[in-house]
Chains A and B, each alone.
Chain A
């Protein structure tokens, strides 16, 4: 079964009373365990597509299915629960909470899921070791390099063991070497069975995916 399916999805933003179409009829399905890259120039609608797949937003028209469930009309709280259980986000800007240490950031999704502290800390530590930050757990984001921050972000995305990892330009703020490290981690996760959706405009990285979706002006072009 497809883990993600989009049927005739349109998304229109209202900007100063002018309707700006971001997506104009997207049909798309992603199989469980696939490694997909979504590529396109900036303004093509790929971030909007990400937000819809990630249950952060609802389509203006059409339907979005996650594991066969239509999520396009769900309430805020139901969407939050889907994000918590099914999806792990990796952002270009890392989006770590600066006050919290690396391990506390990783604990966050588990915190919201109500995982008891002992289990939470244990799993967060394991995840940080998995991404090679076993010795950086008590560091705050500002004390970490860009590559390290992105690894914390990946560890956080794995908190509640989601099926889908959505990575939005995860290498965009990193040098080539760190970027390569991040790509390896993501690919390793894919080998372990996670579905990876990578949004990127970096051709070299994008081409490494099993399925490549090109998007332009809100439409899939190949």
Chain B
């Protein structure tokens, strides 16, 4: 084994420029594989973490239809019904709407989340990213106060909105009592949070609810509770579709769609690796042609066919190995750079790419495999040479 490696290195170092160019093909392929996969992994991890922060003991109920529009959709009645289900610890209704916002005369459409002020903190404090930067959460009795997402405070309007300022929502004034830290998700960072009743009054949707967050008591099966909620909703609203998700289901659904992205990324990268493999095959065929006489010498001095085969397969495998090593290294550097960029532009912890040891291991193994496979045909050609003919070449 060792002696084959030694011989391959000697053979490759003889034609340095060609060896480097051939390896370059593999380097590009593996660099692409490693950086693509690590970005994909990073995305999956980021999304998972956000959902896991939501907590696996929570259930989210949403409806595509809104109450008041043809009389269907979730209402306060559903909320109190769910509250009565065994195993439910806590229910928090939400009403979200795109409303007209205004600050210092500048008007912009803004996403407004209506929450029960007494439950807002409990519902969202343990959700990823919902941390106060300044001020306080909504509190019971709050009416015309608002808590801002970071971007709304920072650059949503031309001038910064600070604690104590007032912004108008649907023409009515709300005093800013709190500002959230940046989460990195623009949907969260460009939204504001107000009292649900006040918001529904403003919008003329007294009983309407867009989503209900349910927390399951410890010791109760989350899926069972979900089933009970579904049954209860079906009884009340015949023929209306509701989505009742446990957070675990959401995590699974999103993870699997991210897997698709990863596979696509990996596929694109794989194509470049195939191109690298073709480069190896090409070089190895040239090697066999150029070294025909040498193959004759090897056979005359007692090399068996399998030894000749191994010599050439090792050579092409060594291309793969070096390409893989260098590719992983460059992929790691690229992934580190992307991390830095993501941290600077998207915020800390939003996208953390990672070149894991197993990714490195698989990438290098894959590169060696690609090398060996590319070398099969040239090696076979070498084996098939007639020693007498080869010596005469």
B344: interface (CB < 8 Å) = no
Would you give the shortest CB distance from B136 to chain A, in whole angstroms? 77
B366-393 interface bits toward A, Cβ cutoff 8 Å, 1 = contact, 0 = none:
0000000000000000000001100100
B356: interface (CB < 8 Å) = no
B301: interface (CB < 8 Å) = yes
- Pick from B10, B294, B301: contact of A84, CB under 8 Å: B301
Task: Flag if B307 contacts A112 (CB, 8 Å).
Answer: yes
Q: List 27 A-B contacts (CB under 8 A).
A: A56-B299, A56-B388, A56-B391, A57-B387, A76-B304, A77-B304, A77-B306, A80-B302, A80-B304, A80-B305, A83-B299, A83-B301, A83-B302, A84-B301, A89-B301, A95-B296, A97-B294, A97-B297, A99-B11, A108-B298, A108-B301, A109-B302, A111-B7, A112-B304, A112-B307, A117-B3, A159-B301
A91: interface (CB < 8 Å) = yes
Query: Looking across the interface, which residue of chain B has its beta carbon closest to that of A160?
Result: B302
Would you give the shortest CB distance from A104 to chain B, in whole angstroms? 8
Compute how far the CA of A56 lies from the CA of B303 in the bound complex, rounded to whole angstroms: 12
Give the residues from 300 to 330 in chain B that come closer than 8 angstroms, CB to CB, to chain A: 300-307
- Pick from A57, A76, A77, A112: contact of B301, CB under 8 Å: A112
Would you give the shortest CB distance from B218 to chain A, in whole angstroms? 67
Task: Flag if B3 contacts A111 (CB, 8 Å).
Answer: yes
Task: Flag if B298 contacts A99 (CB, 8 Å).
Answer: no
Task: Flag if A81 contacts B297 (CB, 8 Å).
Answer: no
Give the residues from 203 to 228 in chain B that come closer than 8 angstroms, CB to CB, to chain A: none
Query: Looking across the interface, which residue of chain A has its beta carbon closest to that of B7?
Result: A111
List of 3 A-B pairs having minimum Cβ-Cβ separation, nearest first: A84-B302, A109-B301, A80-B304
List the B side residues contacting A111 at CB < 8 Å: 3, 7
Count chain A CB atoms within 10 A of each CB in B296, B300, B387 and give the residue with the most. Answer: B300
Compute how far the CA of A54 lies from the CA of B296 in the bound complex, rounded to whole angstroms: 13
A100: interface (CB < 8 Å) = yes
Would you give the shortest CB distance from A87 to chain B, in whole angstroms? 8
List the B side residues contacting A97 at CB < 8 Å: 294, 297
B320-347 interface bits toward A, Cβ cutoff 8 Å, 1 = contact, 0 = none:
0000000000000000000000000000
Task: Flag if B302 contacts A77 (CB, 8 Å).
Answer: no
List the B side residues contacting A54 at CB < 8 Å: 300
B263-304 interface bits toward A, Cβ cutoff 8 Å, 1 = contact, 0 = none:
000000000000000000000000000000110111111111
**New A-B contacts (4) at CB < 8 Å, excluding given A56-B388, A95-B293:** A91-B391, A95-B297, A108-B301, A111-B7
Give the residues from 147 to 164 in chain B that come closer than 8 angstroms, CB to CB, to chain A: none
Task: Flag if A77 contacts B11 (CB, 8 Å).
Answer: no
Compute how far the CA of A117 lies from the CA of B168 in the bound complex, rounded to whole angstroms: 86
Q: How many A-B residue pairs have CB under 8 A?
A: 62
List the B side residues contacting A51 at CB < 8 Å: 388
Compute how far the CA of A61 lies from the CA of B300 in the bound complex, rounded to whole angstroms: 22
Compute how far the CA of A57 lies from the CA of B306 in the bound complex, rounded to whole angstroms: 18
- Pick from A56, A81, A113, A117: contact of B300, CB under 8 Å: A56
Query: Looking across the interface, which residue of chain A has its beta carbon closest to that of B301?
Result: A109
Would you give the shortest CB distance from A27 to chain B, in whole angstroms? 22
Interface size, B (range)? 20 to 34
Would you give the shortest CB distance from A192 to chain B, in whole angstroms? 21
Compute how far the CA of A215 lies from the CA of B315 in the bound complex, rounded to whole angstroms: 44
A46: interface (CB < 8 Å) = no
Compute how far the CA of A84 lies from the CA of B302 in the bound complex, rounded to whole angstroms: 4
Query: Looking across the interface, which residue of chain A has its beta carbon closest to that of B307?
Result: A112
Would you give the shortest CB distance from A157 to chain B, in whole angstroms? 8
Task: Flag if A81 contacts B304 (CB, 8 Å).
Answer: yes
Give the residues from 1 to 32 in chain B that come closer than 8 angstroms, CB to CB, to chain A: 3, 7, 10-11, 14
Give the residues from 87 to 109 in chain B that come closer than 8 angstroms, CB to CB, to chain A: none
List the A side residues contacting B7 at CB < 8 Å: 111
List the B side residues contacting A113 at CB < 8 Å: 302
Compute how far the CA of A114 lies from the CA of B307 in the bound complex, rounded to whole angstroms: 11
Task: Flag if A81 contacts B302 (CB, 8 Å).
Answer: yes
A63: interface (CB < 8 Å) = no
Task: Flag if B300 contacts A112 (CB, 8 Å).
Answer: no
Compute how far the CA of A57 lies from the CA of B299 in the bound complex, rounded to whole angstroms: 11
Task: Flag if A80 contacts B3 (CB, 8 Å).
Answer: no
A201: interface (CB < 8 Å) = no
- Pick from B10, B300, B306, B307: contact of A95, CB under 8 Å: B300
Compute how far the CA of A77 lies from the CA of B121 in the bound complex, rounded to whole angstroms: 79
A64-99 interface bits toward B, Cβ cutoff 8 Å, 1 = contact, 0 = none:
000000000000110011011100010100011101
A156: interface (CB < 8 Å) = yes
Would you give the shortest CB distance from B386 to chain A, in whole angstroms? 8
Compute how far the CA of A81 lies from the CA of B299 in the bound complex, rounded to whole angstroms: 10
List the B side residues contacting A91 at CB < 8 Å: 391
Would you give the shortest CB distance from A103 to chain B, in whole angstroms? 13
Task: Flag if A76 contacts B302 (CB, 8 Å).
Answer: no
- Pick from B10, B299, B306, B387: contact of A99, CB under 8 Å: B10
Compute how far the CA of A91 lies from the CA of B301 in the bound complex, rounded to whole angstroms: 12
Query: Looking across the interface, which residue of chain B has its beta carbon closest to that of A52?
Result: B388
Compute how far the CA of A19 lies from the CA of B7 in the bound complex, rounded to whole angstroms: 41
